[in-house]
A = this chain, B = another copy of it.
């Protein structure tokens, strides 16, 4: 399980509450590790119980109070231990690929709209990544001498950008293939 470790990384980058973490998992780190707020609250509770993180009650005058978490020493060494462990190759779950193969037993052309919907989602995400890259790393507001953390966030973001570009090119290939097969049958 790696949600604990993703949370540790996120809390080391910046301490925050369960709610704030949940929002980060909707953007930023969530693009590489998805999680809902339920999962996050449950795991935070366990991590606090295990002494990996410290909680601090923060009273907010104009909002409900929150519990701000930060990483404790045992959490830091747990992260370090995990970083030195080898990990298995990712097990992929690519539903769209299954659908495309399945289209052979149905109407291939009927999938085109769906694939174009995905294409649009990936176009949006690419634009979002590129805007983030300009804002944080390559634009005029970006630091001239980034630290290790920023360099590493940037290389991960570059991976996201490369992934979206590759996916867009592939989806075009898929659409062209579906169109080619459609009318004949």
Interface residues of chain A, those whose CB is within 8 Å of chain B, are 2, 5-6, 8-9, 12-13, 29, 31-34, 76, 79-80, 82-84, 86-87, 89-106, 108, 110-111, 114, 117-118, 121, 147-149, 151-153, 155-156, 158-159, 162-163, 165-166, 169-170, 173-174, 177, 180-181, 185
Contact = CB atoms under 8 A, between A and B. Distances in A.
14 contacts: A32-B94, A32-B97, A32-B98, A33-B93, A33-B97, A83-B99, A83-B110, A104-B149, A104-B153, A151-B177, A151-B180, A152-B177, A158-B170, A163-B166
Contacts of A147: 104
Nearest to A77: B106
Nearest to A125: B89
A5 to B, nearest CB: 6
Nearest to A171: B159
Nearest to A181: B148
Contacts of A170: 158-159, 162-163
B174 A92 contact: no
B76 A2 contact: no
